[in-house]
Each structure stands twice: as C-alpha cells, then as structure tokens.
Amino acid sequence: MSSDSSSIEQGGSEHGGSEQSKVRIERDSMGPMEVPADALYGASTMRAVLNFPISDLRFPRAFIRALGLVKLAAAKSNQELGLLDGKIAAAIVSAALEVADGKQDRHFVLDIFQTGSGTSTNTNANEVIANRATQIMGGEPGSRLVHPNDHVNMGQSSNDVIPTAIHLAALMASRETLAPALEKLRAALAKKSEEFWPIVKTGRTHLQDATPVRLGQEFLGFAGQAENSLQRLNRMDIALAEVALGGTAVGTGVNTHPEFSSRTCRLLSEMTHVDIKETANHFQAQSTLDALVEASGELKTIAISLHKIANDIRFISSGPRAGLGEITVPEVQPGSSIMPGKVNPVIAESVIQVVAQVVGNDATVMLAGQGSYFELNTMMPVAAYNILQSISLLAASADNFAEQCVIGIEATSVGPDMVEKGLMLGTALTPAIGYDAAAALAKEAAATGRTIREMAKIKTELSDDELDRLLEPESMTEPGAG
C-alpha cells in the first residue's frame, strides 16, 4: 500500500509544531475528522471506530473478500452502462481487487456490533477503495479524486450491498471449504463401511442390546448422514443465490439503473463460480433475513449430524477395557496429566464442541432474523459473523475429523465376540416358537447367565441344525423371514 508523506497534513502547535502529524484531516457530511495518516479509510469510518468500541470481533476475511468483489463488479457494471468514467472505474476495479485479495485488510477496522444495517462497514469499504483508487490515479487520500459515495457506491445502498455480500461470502465459503470437507468425510466413512462390512456385532437401541448389525452398516449410516449433509448444503446454496442488490435504500431501486443488478450479479457469478441472481422481490429480500435463517438452519442440521457420528464413534471406541471397545480411534495425544497411558477421543470431542457453537450461532441468526422492521433488517452484521463462523467451523472440523480420526479407525474382535452372548438373538427364534416363548427364553437367559442358544436347547425342541440356521448372525443383518 502506498502511504505518500504528501498526504500527511501539518498539525501546527497542536500536533507538535513543525513535526509531521501522525494524522490527516478527512471530511464527510458531518464535517472534518482526524484519521491516522496511513489509514485508507476516512472520516465516517473513524466516527464508527469511536462509536463502537464494543468487542474484538471483526468481519471475517470471507466477508471482506465478498464485499470487495461486489464493489468491483458494481464499478464494471456502471462503466458498461455509461454512468462511470472509464479511468475512475478502472482505478476502482484495481482497488476493489486489492480489497478482495486481502491486501487492505488492516484498513477494515470496525466492530461487528455496529449499525444494524452494516452501513459503517459499507462506508469503510467505500472510503478504502476510493482512497486507494485515488492513489492509483496519482492523487492524495482525502482529495476525493475518486469519491466514496458518488463513484464507489454508485447505484448502491448499504441496505442492499451488505446482505448481498453476506450471501456471496456464505456461498463461496460453502463451495470452497464446507462442501469439500463434507465430501472428504463422506468418502472416509464409506470406505470404512466397506472395510467393516464382514464384521457382525450387537446392535443397540435405547442404549440397550438389540439384534445384530454389521459394523459396516453402522458406518454406512454415518456415510449417509454426510451425504445428506451435502444435499442440505445444496438447499442452502439455493436459498442464498437470490440477492438483494438493486433495491438500494428500501427496495424500490431508487438512484440505480434498472440493469445494474442483473449485470452485476452476472459478473459476480462469472468471477466466483457460484450462482447468484437478482431477487424477483426486492422488498422481501431487504426487509428480512429469511434466507439466512433458512441457511443457518441447514448448517445446524449438518452440525447435529456430525454430533451423532462423532458421539457414536466416541462411545463405540470407549474403553479400552471397561467400555465397549468395538473399535479403536487413532491415538493423537496423551489424554491425561495424571493417568499415564490414558488416551482420549479428542478429535471427536472437538467436533462435538463445534456443534455446540454452531447451534448457538443458529440461535443468534434466528434472533437476528427477528430484527427485521418495515423495509430493513437491522441485525445484519451479527448474522453475517455467526453464519460465516458456522461454515468455517464445520468445514475445519469435518475435514479434521476425517483426516485425524475416521481414516485411522480400526475394528477389534470385541463386537463379534459379544454377538453369541446377545439376548436379542432370541428375536430370530420368534418365527419358530412365537414372541411370548422367545421373550421368556430371553428373560431366563438373562437371569441365569446362559446364552439364547443354551436356553433354546433346554427349553425348545429345535435341533442344533435348526438353531444354527436361525441364530446365524449374518442372516439377521438383512431382511428375511421364515
């Protein structure tokens, strides 16, 4: 970034006499304002810095990238429409690309907890891009050779730009990080399903013994959850594809060209390889966060699926001696500061904690959706932060879960060894002796410590061959009767 000393004004005695000041004077509609001399933002951003000293939370990189791309595409569209001078448009495109690429991130300084429309951050982007474009054209920051409102924000309002940038950021993050992570997890689980298919173990319902199931079938269920998560992600993308850009202040499109939004959306789709389109109803798109609430709900469902998978794997691997111990998970770190040799299912635990965060984020997005009043929602920044964090956390945890846990899972002999002792083998005798007799058999086996086979030999007239046929575990893992 260029920081020409000529852009630094002298502060007189107030700023140290003849020494160059560390601030410069910028102006906005409310008057002059001191800003740091090397900052690319201007007066309005500085006012917001002072107004919102709330937290250390900032818009994530994904959002700033999307916002930069929206400004870039908007400048191109306005030039194509003959509304923006070619040289100014080119400078804005160059500056906006730097913002999208992360080269100006240090100039995006505003707290998430700010004006509910995100106007402060839209202004932050306008001022940074305008001042950087001014530098590119040979001018000094603050000179407004490129104007933040008249040029960078041409045909736009915070009220349609911010929700558009949120949708775009979520779409790109979904396609680039979360979808590949879920596919990696699905593939790893499917591979384990094939590997574990020959292994028959005792199934469990209500945390109690049930009829036999293949370990591979359990993992097939996990893989199916990951597959369904990918389908949910597709539904989320459909909801987010419709954007508010073009509605300007209240949805009417005042001060923008009728073709501005469609042209800009087309350019954004080409640049990002995600499909976005102008909404057919700007009034609902700007006055609600319904699409974000829907998208966050899909993310929450994906999180709950991951919880099921991680928690089951954690319990199936419990032990190694006093638990179920039907599988082992990779030993990635010591598990205790006091118990030597203890190893814990820490990767699964990290997934479960991510799930808790995502569920909390969804509650925040839902409440933000309720902050829609008349023509505008006024909780957009916090909704953006939470939904983008959910995508980021789910992507990282799903990828890490696959890489550091699922791929290295191994089966033990415990599951198959326990099948013969399972009381629910009696279910297979029901067609031959009836439910009541089979239930009595199971109860007596439980009371005496005998197996179902042993009790059947004593209490029924079934031959050994018939018992072998009826109590063959593998046949109980597929449909069949008689």
Q: Which residues are catalytic?
A: 206, 336
Looking up tokens 């400078």, which residue turns up?
91
Distances (CA, A) of 25 to 41, 46, 109, 470: 11, 11, 18, 88
Inter-residue contact 123 to 45 (CB < 8 Å): yes
Q: Is the omega angle on the peptide bond into residue 320 within 30 degrees of 0, that is, cis?
A: yes
Inter-residue contact 73 to 93 (CB < 8 Å): no
DSSP-based helix, strand, coil % in the chain, nearest 5: 60, 10, 30
Give helix then strand counts, H and E, for the chain.
Answer: 17, 10
Q: For residues 86 and 80, give the distance between their C-alpha atoms in angstroms, rounded to a whole number.
A: 9
The token pair that represents 286 in the structure block = 């700007």
Distances (CA, A) of 60 to 66, 173, 286, 365: 10, 11, 22, 16
Classify residue 393 by burial, with Cβ atoms within 10 Å: 0-12, 13-18, 19+: buried
Q: For residues 353 and 445, give the distance between their C-alpha atoms in angstroms, rounded to a whole number.
A: 41
The token pair that represents 336 in the structure block = 């205790």
Q: For residues 140 and 145, give the distance between their C-alpha atoms in angstroms, rounded to a whole number.
A: 8
The token pair that represents 125 in the structure block = 């982007």
Cβ atoms within 10 Å, residue 432: 17
